[in-house]
Amino acid sequence: MHVVADRSAAPAAIRTDLGAIFASLELSKSTWLITSLSPSSGEKMSKHAVRGGDITGLLARFAQLQDKAQARTGRHFALVVIQEAGLDGFWIHRVLEAEGIESHVVDAASIATSRRRRRAKTDKIDGEALVRALLAYKRGEPRVCAMVRVPSVSDEDHRRIGRERKVLVGERTCHVNRIKGLLFAQGITGYEPLRRDRRHRLEELRTGDGRALPEHLKGQIRRELDRLEVVIAQIKEVQAERDALLAIEVAETPAATLLDLKGIGPECAAILYAEGLFRHFDNRRQVAAYAGLAPTPWQSGSVQHEQGVSKAGNPRLRTTMIELAWLWLRNQPGSALTRWFHERVIRNQGRLKKTTVVALARKLLVALWKYVTAGVVIEGAVMKAV
């Protein structure tokens, strides 16, 4: 007789002694798929679809789920809903919370999936996986998934300024490079579209073989300059809004004290606060993980090495911190962090500078977090002259 050890009499797939109705939302532009698991409904999950954007239909469907569960059990059950963070933002989450429904937004990349090369992926499968992740999360299982801390409406709005400026600066770079490329094809170098006399200098340009610029080419460059000047004006407008916001925060938030440190300007201060330091963190590991600067070790048996930073956090905060780390080395040469960097580089015989500056960015972010929240001054840091 063949006996299989440790096999239960009945398959334990999903808990059925639930104290709430657990539901997941798979959101798309055309359809919202609702996957739910209700008390006394067995182990089978029910699935319903509503038209994308139909929040009234969504709430009506939730009410039907509650009515059916009450008819089966004679009890009223609360709803617990989960959705992935994505293009829909947080407005659905805020509507659900306003209706008294417990809502969670999860980082989709934190949910474990099959590692098979070809795995089945459908909205149905994803919806069931979200419900199972929500059940495990509510049971208190560690490292099941990472729930997003939804920012307030005002905090989310404050991010717009820094993000819009980054987009505009990218557009400005595209216009400048396009103009320079058009001129380079004619043998012209040294023309700077960002100078104030750009239009006057355009009329004086001569091609590499001594000709005046062709009329259609000159017209194209003029139109590029028109678009460039619009972007430049918008960048100035956004920077004025940023400076006005920082002026208000000087009196209202401790994050404005970042401006007192030499090497930190208005743009870095605004991004550091709006993208990260406005949040509550329990420890330095959470700070580094949120910026995607936490290390990711790989250990299996006798194999053990570092894979680098996780890059799983806020990309804008991470990019700003690495840029700020280079600026810190230049503007704060006597600080303890700068000395640590140079000692590490000397120990590596001048190699791995880029890797070490990422480690410096992590240490600097933690130090700035302590400085903003607890007033701990960074050792050896120089303040700006009043």
Domain boundaries, given as residue ranges, for the chain: 20-139, 153-252, 255-374
Return the HEC string of 318-385.
Answer: HHHHHHHHHHHHHHCCCCHHHHHHHHHHHHCCCCCHHHHHHHHHHHHHHHHHHHHHHCCCCCCCCECC
Check residue 251 and give its pLDDT: 53
d(CA 123, CA 266): 44
Topology of domain 20-139, per CATH? Nucleotidyltransferase; domain 5 (3.30.420)
* 8 A C-beta contact, residue 110 and residue 146: yes
Return the closest-CA partner of residue 26 out of 50, 60, 56, 44.
50
β-pairing, 102-106 vs 20-27, is unpaired
pLDDT for residue 22: 95
Q: What is the largest CA-CA distance in the chain?
A: 97
pLDDT tens digits in sequence order for the chain, 386 residues long: 444 334 344 444 445 457 899 999 999 999 999 999 998 776 789 999 999 999 999 999 999 999 999 998 889 999 999 999 989 999 999 999 999 999 999 998 888 888 888 888 888 999 999 999 999 999 988 889 889 889 899 888 888 888 999 999 999 999 999 999 999 999 999 999 999 999 999 999 999 999 999 999 999 999 999 999 999 999 999 999 888 887 776 555 666 788 889 989 888 888 888 888 888 888 999 999 999 998 888 888 888 888 888 888 889 999 999 999 999 999 999 999 999 999 999 998 888 888 899 999 999 999 999 998 888 889 998 888 75
The Cα-based distances of 2 to 5, 7, 138 in angstroms read 10, 13, 39
Q: Where are the beta strands (DSSP E) in the chain?
A: 20-27, 31-37, 46-51, 78-84, 102-106, 295-300, 303-309
From residue 201, how far is each of 17, 222, 359 by CA, in Å? 78, 12, 45
pTM of the model: 0.79
Kindly state the tokens that stand for 281. 């963190």
Is 310:294 a contact under the CB 8 Å cutoff? yes
pLDDT of residue 15: 52
Rounded Cα gap, residues 141 and 129, in angstroms: 15
Q: At 65, list the tokens.
A: 């789920």
Read off the tokens for 343.
Answer: 């000692």
DSSP-based three-state secondary structure for 34: strand
Res 249: pLDDT: 60
Asked whether the beta carbons of 156 and 148 are under 8 A apart, the reply is: no
Q: How far apart are CA 128 and CA 125, in angstroms?
A: 5
Tell me the torsion sign for CA atoms 361, 166, 178, 191.
Answer: negative
Name the nearest CA neighbour of 87 among 105, 114, 72.
Answer: 105
Cα–Cα–Cα angle for 237, 241, 246, rounded to 5 degrees? 145
Q: What is the DSSP string of 123-143?
A: HHHHHHHHHHHHHHHHHT-TT
- How far apart CA 78 and CA 19 sit, in angstroms, is 8
pLDDT of 334 reads 92
What is the arrangement of strands in the sheet containing 20-27, beginning at the earlier edge strand? Answer: 46-51, 31-37, 20-27, 78-84, 102-106
